[in-house]
Amino acid sequence: MDSGSIVYMHTDVLHQTEIVDILTKPETSCTSNVPPYKPKANEVYLFQTGADDWKCDQYLWINNGTKSVTIGNDVLKKHFYKIRLPGTTDKTNGRKRPVGSLQFKKTAYSLKSNKSLILVHYEGDETVYVPVGHGNSKKSDPPEYTRTAPSVLRKIEQDIRSGEKTAMDVYRESISNGSVSGEHQGVLNARNVKQVENLVRKVNEEERLSKDDIYNLLLLAYHMDGFIHEVTVFPDLSSIIALPEMISIVNQLLDVNTEDDVPFVFFYDTTFKCGDFFVSPLVFRNIIFEDRPIMPVAFLIHSRKKEKTHARFFEFVASSFPKINKTSVPFVTDREIGLVNAIRKNFPSCDVLMCWNHLIKDLKFNLQQMGADQSNTALYVSHLKDLLRSDSEAEYMTLKDELIRKWSKPVVVYFEKMEKDILTHSGKWVIDKYQNLYDPYSGITNNACESMNAVIKGLINIESCQLTASCLACFTCRITISMRCKGVWLALVTIH
């Protein structure tokens, strides 16, 4: 028996009635959630798993076919495996096949109605197994190959796709899992750095845009003069999109006096993914219209969420709108540090306001990680909103000293980490620097970007989106809006 791996029973023969009985009425105390370590003949295991981790028993097997049997309203599926031995055999077509033996075999059973419950029976003589190395190994005496669990590989790929960790970071995090026993090293965690690096290459290959995608984007840039301002293909793909007419309109709006009205404000966020890349819209509130609509002025299309990519985008924004720093236009965004740094680097005189929804969402997530129940979570969220609604920093400090006595230590520790964002970017007294910007109910949010996302998503197929399709969707959206703006400017010119 191994930690998390339990022998359900011992038997040399397992009848179909027994199999169905176990799968329909399992003894939950004897189910396993990790694969066994080199199980012996006549051992039976019952696995409760959503993945194929049960296959990683540290033997090498050859698939020997499947069979399905209808039992009442259900179907019993049988998967047969024979042990793999060293060497290969030549087939008539010239292809080499691995050598297998039925002297040691296993059979996996599952019901169609509950595919996550797997019953595995080992039969024969396990001593016939001879350890073999990885098929791609070039060493004369390679180490024994053991398969890494699919759930572990998926977790590694997920970490790689986030773009926030190097191969070494992912490897160190994987092997530092203290719950993995010695017998499961390389099975329930990464085998070595090389394995992680291979997955990095696999992910990069899957996410890499084709030559046709990049070529078509460059064609668009040449044919739609002034719309696609910049295309970078190495080391990461990024493209800056902005319609000249909208740039002109925004520059004129920056001269409009809005002291007694809703102020001019930018919203920016990386809020959704189109195919293999991200779209970050820079939108603004058009104060010249009575209904104050939200309109886009520029888009950043990028393959990775990196600060330097956002910084280059805001360099373009700063050169296109030189009046922003002089008029101290606020930017509303989320708590992503790369976005905040990129904005502050290019607009040092402008405030960065952080969305209340993101602050609340982050608090809820961390409370969940701490094990807080629903009532406590609601209480902490209510306290956070009360603090955010303070009229001054002094009032905030007084209220915090009162509330913090009621909080658990882990919550206090987390709150101390997020407090800087409240004091600098989110408190009501910070938002009130801009008349009529604060909402008594929601404070300040980045919902404007979410609205723009809905428009873009309505124009493209997100699941199979090509790079050029996203660019054209942005173009369609921008042309429609700029025509509306042109009509207003012409009317104003006629009046005056």
Which pLDDT tens digit goes with each residue over 424-453?
A: 998 999 998 888 888 888 888 877 776 666
If we measure between CA atoms, which residue out of 225, 304, 292, 236 comes closest to residue 437?
292
CA–CA separation, 62 vs 97, rounded Å?
10
Q: Give the residue, 166 or 139, on which the prediction is more confident.
A: 166
Which tokens sit at 64? 């020997």
Residues shown for the chain = 496
User: Cα–Cα distances in Å, from 329 out to 34, 61, 222, 258, 402?
Assistant: 55, 65, 33, 11, 35
Q: What is the pLDDT of residues 198-257, one digit of tens each?
A: 898 888 777 665 556 677 777 777 776 777 888 887 777 788 888 788 888 888 888 775
> What is the structure's pLDDT at 470?
54
Number of Cβ within 10 Å of residue 422's Cβ equals 21
pLDDT over threshold 80, residue 81: yes
pTM over 0.95: no
Q: What is the pLDDT of residues 344-381, one digit of tens each?
A: 999 988 889 999 998 999 999 888 888 888 889 999 99
Residue 38 identity (one-letter amino acid): K
CA–CA separation, 54 vs 122, rounded Å?
13
Q: Where residue 461 falls among pLDDT bands split at 50, 70, 90?
A: very low
The answer for 136, left when phi > 0, alpha when psi is -120 to 50, beta otherwise, is alpha
> What is the structure's pLDDT at 326?
80
User: Cα–Cα distances in Å, from 336 out to 128, 269, 332, 485?
Assistant: 56, 9, 12, 32
User: Do 302 and 271 meet the contact criterion of CB atoms below 8 Å apart?
Assistant: no
Domains with residue ranges and CATH for the chain: 1-147 (2.20.25.80), 148-207 (no CATH), 211-484 (no CATH)
Q: Where residue 136 falls among pLDDT bands split at 50, 70, 90?
A: low
Which tokens sit at 414? 């987390």
pLDDT cut 70: percent of the chain above it: 82
Q: What is the per-residue burial (b if ≥16 Cβ within 10 Å, else e) of 72-105?
A: eeeebebbbbbbbbeeeeeeeeeeeeeebeebbb
